[in-house]
Structure 1
Amino acid sequence: MTAANRRRDVVDASRLVVKVGSSSLTDPHGGGLDEERLVALVDVLARRRLAGGSVVLVSSGAIAAGIAPLGLTKRPWDLATQQAAASVGQGALVAAYQRAFGAHGLTVGQVLLTADDVTRRSHYTNAKRTIDRLLELGIVPIVNENDTVATQEIRFGDNDRLAALVAHIAHADALVLLTDVDALYDGPPSQPGAQRVPLVVGGLGLDHVRIGGTGSSVGSGGMVTKVEAASIANSAGITTLLTSAPQAGEALEGKDVGTLFVPTGSRRASRKLWLAHATTPRGRLMLDAGAVHAVVERRKSLLPAGVTEVVGAFGDGDAVELCGPDGTVIGRGLVNYSSTELPDLLGRTTHDLARELGPGYEREVVHRDDLVIL
């Protein structure tokens, strides 16, 4: 397999998700939006949209856009000020996109998401319905994390992971991650002799690659988050291309730029993908050996009889890690009991619990449909 063969996945994608980072949209000093950069990107995406393709844009930049209006000199680190900057900047960001896409006769629609919107079934179903309908109507969805209300406990942490999850929820054919680095290199790009990695297949071949960096002064991501995002998208069967924003046009034309991450195997079911990559575990359930075998090998639901210990504080419906007797994490799932209610049920059969406490207690601790093996 060659990178050239698989670049057609990006060229021919009828539904494309593109993510752009804050550093690609702001002036070099991070003081605010650089509309010239934004317009250059929009021109590329508008051509794709007007040629008949569907485009979803996952855009960072709301917090960066709010830096100057708030009189700040750099990206704030405390959550409250980040939320204030996002509140001010989000309107400016979407307005800039509306002007730029409007010049091509296109309309944009804003979609703000929190982690809950892709982890709780009713929420991500609504998110999918909204994005699908916008695309059906010819609108370009502009997706961003809802930084104005997201807390540290429920936020994605960066828009790279969000973009990978949006690519799956939108059933995209390809994902393009645009950043301020033109590709993944086998070492720091500024280091003499560093070589571009043109192709990564199934996550293999990265052992020799030194991946580091925490992102720019106006962003929150880095190369690590982009490689992780590519892995998430690949697990959903979606080809991913990582390159710089100035090379976006060449990337969409299939030119030899950036790093192409190619999946192996089929798409993972959406529910399992969300559980594996979008949820933040609130606690842990320790399992005995029999429960581990039932959950991992037999793909059964987790019952109270197989749980030996409850760790952490969580509520009904929260994500928890499932651990074997030695503490190894073997899976993740949505629990049907709170951490205060569950300890009294441990080691007991659902039949006995139902007889003693009522039929409401004949339910699983974690249903197999809400469980993913890691």
Structure 2
Amino acid sequence: MASQRLTIVIKLGTSSIVDENTHEPILSILTLIVETAAKLHRDGHNVVLVSSGAVGVGLRRMDVEERPKYLPRIQALAAVGQCRLMSLWDGLFSHLRLPVAQILLTRNDIADRTQYINAQNTFAQLFDMGVIPIVNENDTLAVSEIKFGDNDTLSAITAAMVKANYLFLMTDVDCLYTANPRNNPDAQPIEVVTDISSLEADVSSAGSSLGTGGMSTKIVAAKLGTSAGVTTIITKSSKPGNVHEIVKYLQQAQQETLADPTTENNDHSSILHTPPPLHTRFIPSETPIQSRSFWLLHGLKPRGTIYIDHGAYSALQKKAGLLPAGVVGVEGHFGQQEAVRLVVVEKISPDSLNGEFLHHGQEPREVGRALVNYSSSEIIRIKGHRSTQIQSLLGYADSEYVALRENISFIRNDESPRH
């Protein structure tokens, strides 16, 4: 049986590829990563690297000892380091005659739906051309408002964008443990996670002085990845060859399962004789959210909040759009076609101050995101009214809906937006 062509995203943190003390690139690890990517590519798979390290390499290039606090200086170091980092990757891949491409992203780059689709198309063309994309956050331009927060989140969004089969989050431990294995000899590895919401593991790893992530950010990334249908795997960054071995193991497991459907989905030990390297595998959702819904939830930064009543929430779940009659409050300042949070609250009296809600019964809870047809000031004027009154209240009526149903995406129990 021919092996399936897979799309594999490998996320590498700064501490994985840059020495924490000397800030020198760890060439031995970089070389192994390149060899692993080349093996996967020869096997017919698409490979994407999400590589941190620009600031770390910039520190070395400019002989700066510690990561500065001043944002413009960090961005300047990132600009210096990004050139060097891509030169390293390009040089190493060129030895194996593999072309690479640089893709730098900020949240603004995917906030526009057209740009998001353009990015997807670019990735698709690079795969067709046999190129390995190397993705990083554009630290030279990114400020807190448009940052992904860390490259774990960026890698999960990238994996969803390219409809990846596997997302590998490389870290300084083999896998998740029930406790910290460094000081608890009874710590047990967690090899498979089927329900990430009920995960009980030690996530105390806080990341290095160079990086921005830790184990907790990898759990967040795993939630994003699995919600989009991507099998997410944590494994040791100092052993990049594990990635190729794990992929081969999982492919063999899938073929064995197809040959013997009675085998349990996640237990292949009885049919496979050679266990894979230690890793934690997060099983993807059986009902992954679609590309547009994922973009609404995770590609856009909400500019405000719309509070709706339970009747409106029930109607939305039945595929109806959001009518002004179901809106009970507005918070923030936003324009047409900007993203907002949807929060369900108890019905409040009309003379309550805008944004101040009486917490009777159920607490307010965020249930989703929406792209709105009206600005915040317009929604304040039409909230609680029938759609037939929009014309008289505003002098015009662009839509009978505050938000169309196709522009609304709900948060599920196994995920939560990062912003």
What is the CA-CA distance between 1:100 and the residue it aligns to?
0.6
What is the CA-CA distance between 1:247 and the residue it aligns to?
2.3
| In structure 2, C-alpha distance between the alignment counterparts of 1:147 and 1:131, rounded to whole Å | 21
Aligned letter for 1:344? R
Aligned letter for 2:130? G
Per the alignment, residue 328 of structure 2 pairs with 308
Residue correspondence of structure 1 range 10-49 to structure 2 within 5 A: 14-29=6-21, 31-49=23-41
Per the alignment, residue 159 of structure 1 pairs with 151
| In structure 2, C-alpha distance between the alignment counterparts of 1:199 and 1:214, rounded to whole Å | 22
Per the alignment, residue 233 of structure 1 pairs with 225
Per the alignment, residue 289 of structure 1 pairs with 310
Asked whether the equivalents of residues 29 and 240 of structure 2 are also in contact (C-alpha less than 8 Å), the reply is: no
Call closer, same or farther: CA 1:245–1:76 in 2, change over 3 Å. Answer: same
Structure 1 position 333 matched with structure 2 position 370 = yes
Call closer, same or farther: CA 1:355–1:361 in 2, change over 3 Å. Answer: farther
Residue correspondence of structure 1 range 84-233 to structure 2 within 5 A: 84-193=76-185, 194-203=187-196, 205-206=198-199, 208-233=200-225
Aligned letter for 1:199? V
Determine helix, strand or coil for the equivalent of 1:66. Answer: helix
Per the alignment, residue 343 of structure 1 pairs with 380
Call closer, same or farther: CA 1:320–1:204 in 2, change over 3 Å. Answer: closer
Per the alignment, residue 272 of structure 2 pairs with none
Aligned letter for 1:324? V
What is the CA-CA distance between 1:128 and the residue it aligns to?
0.2
Asked whether the equivalents of residues 182 and 242 of structure 1 are also in contact (C-alpha less than 8 Å), the reply is: yes
1:289-341 alpha-carbon deviations (Å, 9 max, x no partner): 3212212x323221222212111222333321111124211211222333233
Determine helix, strand or coil for the equivalent of 1:316. Answer: coil
What is the CA-CA distance between 1:187 and the residue it aligns to?
1.7
- Structure with bigger gyration radius: 2
| In structure 2, C-alpha distance between the alignment counterparts of 1:78 and 1:350, rounded to whole Å | 50
Structure 1 position 265 matched with structure 2 position 265 = no
Please, which of 391, 401, 416 is the counterpart of residue 364 of structure 1?
A: 401
Call closer, same or farther: CA 1:317–1:148 in 2, change over 3 Å. Answer: farther
Asked whether the equivalents of residues 202 and 263 of structure 1 are also in contact (C-alpha less than 8 Å), the reply is: no
Call closer, same or farther: CA 1:301–1:61 in 2, change over 3 Å. Answer: same
Please, which of 410, 414, 418 is the counterpart of residue 373 of structure 1?
A: 410
Determine helix, strand or coil for the equivalent of 1:247. Answer: coil
Call closer, same or farther: CA 1:75–1:12 in 2, change over 3 Å. Answer: farther
Determine helix, strand or coil for the equivalent of 1:246. Answer: coil
What is the CA-CA distance between 1:210 and the residue it aligns to?
2.9
Call closer, same or farther: CA 1:312–1:78 in 2, change over 3 Å. Answer: farther
What is the CA-CA distance between 1:126 and the residue it aligns to?
0.7
Aligned letter for 1:333? A
Call closer, same or farther: CA 1:360–1:204 in 2, change over 3 Å. Answer: closer
Aligned residues: 362
Call closer, same or farther: CA 1:56–1:363 in 2, change over 3 Å. Answer: farther
1:101-141 alpha-carbon deviations (Å, 9 max, x no partner): 00000110011111123332111101101111011001100
Residue correspondence of structure 1 range 244-255 to structure 2 within 5 A: 244-254=236-246, 255=276
| In structure 1, C-alpha distance between the alignment counterparts of 2:206 and 2:22, rounded to whole Å | 16
1:147-203 alpha-carbon deviations (Å, 9 max, x no partner): 111120111001111111111111211111112222111122312222221111131
Call closer, same or farther: CA 1:315–1:29 in 2, change over 3 Å. Answer: farther
Determine helix, strand or coil for the equivalent of 1:340. Answer: helix
What is the CA-CA distance between 1:21 and the residue it aligns to?
0.7
CA RMSD of aligned residues (A): 2.0
Asked whether the equivalents of residues 45 and 55 of structure 1 are also in contact (C-alpha less than 8 Å), the reply is: yes
Call closer, same or farther: CA 1:330–1:97 in 2, change over 3 Å. Answer: same
Asked whether the equivalents of residues 114 and 145 of structure 1 are also in contact (C-alpha less than 8 Å), the reply is: yes
Per the alignment, residue 62 of structure 1 pairs with 54
1:21-64 alpha-carbon deviations (Å, 9 max, x no partner): 11001013162422332122111111211232211111111121
Determine helix, strand or coil for the equivalent of 1:361. Answer: coil
Asked whether the equivalents of residues 175 and 190 of structure 2 are also in contact (C-alpha less than 8 Å), the reply is: yes
Asked whether the equivalents of residues 390 and 400 of structure 2 are also in contact (C-alpha less than 8 Å), the reply is: no
| In structure 2, C-alpha distance between the alignment counterparts of 1:301 and 1:32, rounded to whole Å | 54
| In structure 2, C-alpha distance between the alignment counterparts of 1:179 and 1:108, rounded to whole Å | 23
Aligned letter for 2:343? C
| In structure 2, C-alpha distance between the alignment counterparts of 1:90 and 1:305, rounded to whole Å | 51
Determine helix, strand or coil for the equivalent of 2:240. Answer: helix
Determine helix, strand or coil for the equivalent of 1:68. Answer: helix
Call closer, same or farther: CA 1:338–1:205 in 2, change over 3 Å. Answer: closer
Asked whether the equivalents of residues 381 and 393 of structure 2 are also in contact (C-alpha less than 8 Å), the reply is: no
